[in-house]
Amino acid sequence: MKSNCNLRYIATILCLVLIQACTSKEEVSVEDSIDPKVVLVTLDGLRWQELFSGADPSLINHTEYVSDTAKLKALFWRDNPQSRRQVLMPFMWKTIGLEGQLYGNRVFGNHVNLTNNQWFSYPGYSEILCGFADDNRINSNDKINNENTTVLEYVHNQAGFQGKVAAFASWDVFPYIINEMRSGIPVNAGYEDVVDPYTEEEKLINQLQHQTPKLWESVRLDGFTHQLAMSHLVNHRSKLLYIAYGETDDFAHEGKYDEYLKAARRTDDLLSQLWKTLQSDPFYKDQTTLLITTDHGRGVQPIDQWRHHGKSNIPRSDEVWIAAIGPKIASKGEINTIQQLYSNQIAATIAKILGFDYPEERAGKDLLMFLQP
């Protein structure tokens, strides 16, 4: 009995030594064993002007667009653009500005543009997601299923990615842009409930989004979209998740510059919470790249043009931006060199980060030579 115990003791020690050896081996090869994930986020129609310079001096004092200029200035006015942008979007500047990269500050000649010839939402999102413009077929915001394949669908069709791709959007046209029916990718958009809610939070949001005022018929408030996306992220282990926020564009169209700025500030908080959640979950931590962009810009002059966008009547509303942060993204902050990038490069970039060469010939080239030099 005693020798039996000794043998067991020795066997246990041997096992522990082996486990320890295996664990240290794993620790050494963590860098090689990274299992990449991507979260793509779009902020509808947020101008590069506000992202890179904060509140616009010609608009923050404008009583036509701001109900209480003193209050808004207390919130968002600072004497220089660097302080203004930090107070408007602190996550963008204190986290991505230090650890990631931001493209599109035209003050430095750093340009990001759309390649589509429409400069409104469906064509903008389709260009981002498919990697190319299709002006002949995609020229309205109507609820028409996209005949083109998005990078979401391409990735979803790869081995190991079924059920690992999902989209959450405030605007109810996204199920058509992503072609939910053909692609099989779950797209929760507009005021759509979560089918088979998984958590108490999802059940609650299914109720709340119908119990609160609807500001817009086709766009729900971003907080609902965000909470559903976060719940999915935590409970369903996504490898590619797309979140499309919408409030910035709708408040701008209404001519409410104060609400537009406040929406930008809230969205920045949502991004911050998203990044904190990713970085505190071992499944995502140090393995997830966050890409953020917008579907179009807005006008500049004459002054009322900031509200709208569109190729036909709003010049310069094809001016956009891209931000990125992640395990292999170099910490270069704001890019201040002369350069021209396009929204059609994002799809190939997503595919490349996940380990695929995007086969769509019309797509722009991936951005990894800039993001991961």
Name the residues that contact Zn ion, by CB under 5 A: 249
Q: Nearest approach, Cβ of 84 to Zn ion (angstroms)? A: 24
Q: Nearest approach, Cβ of 121 to Zn ion (angstroms)? A: 6
Q: Nearest approach, Cβ of 201 to Zn ion (angstroms)? A: 30
Closer by beta carbon to Zn ion, 110 or else 294: 294
* AA letter at 265: R
Q: Could you report how far apart the first and last alpha carbons of the chain are, in Å?
A: 64
Closer by beta carbon to Zn ion, 84 or else 309: 309
Q: Nearest approach, Cβ of 241 to Zn ion (angstroms)? A: 24
Q: Nearest approach, Cβ of 188 to Zn ion (angstroms)? A: 21
| DSSP H or E run through 224 | helix 222-236
**Gap between the Cα atoms of 124 and 132, Å rounded:** 10
Q: Nearest approach, Cβ of 45 to Zn ion (angstroms)? A: 5
Q: Nearest approach, Cβ of 249 to Zn ion (angstroms)? A: 4
Closer by beta carbon to Zn ion, 185 or else 261: 261
The residues, ordered by sequence, that sit 6+ positions from 207 with a Cβ below 8 Å of its Cβ are none
Closer by beta carbon to Zn ion, 173 or else 228: 173
**Gap between the Cα atoms of 296 and 309, Å rounded:** 7
Instruction: Report residue 241 CA to chain centroid gap.
Output: 9
Smallest Cα–Cα separation from 43: which of 271, 315, 246?
246
**Gap between the Cα atoms of 289 and 274, Å rounded:** 12
Closer by beta carbon to Zn ion, 180 or else 247: 247
Closer by beta carbon to Zn ion, 123 or else 223: 123
Closer by beta carbon to Zn ion, 222 or else 249: 249
3-state helix, strand, coil in the chain (%, to 5): 45, 15, 40
Closer by beta carbon to Zn ion, 173 or else 233: 173
**Gap between the Cα atoms of 194 and 189, Å rounded:** 10
The answer to whether the peptide bond before residue 186 is cis (omega within 30 degrees of 0) is: no
* AA letter at 36: P
Taking CA 217 as the corner, what is the angle to CA 251 and CA 206, rounded to the nearest 5 degrees? Answer: 105
The residue nearest Zn ion at its CB is 249
Instruction: Dump the DSSP string for 154-179.
Output: HHHTSTT-TT-EEEEESBTTHHHHTT
Q: Nearest approach, Cβ of 189 to Zn ion (angstroms)? A: 16
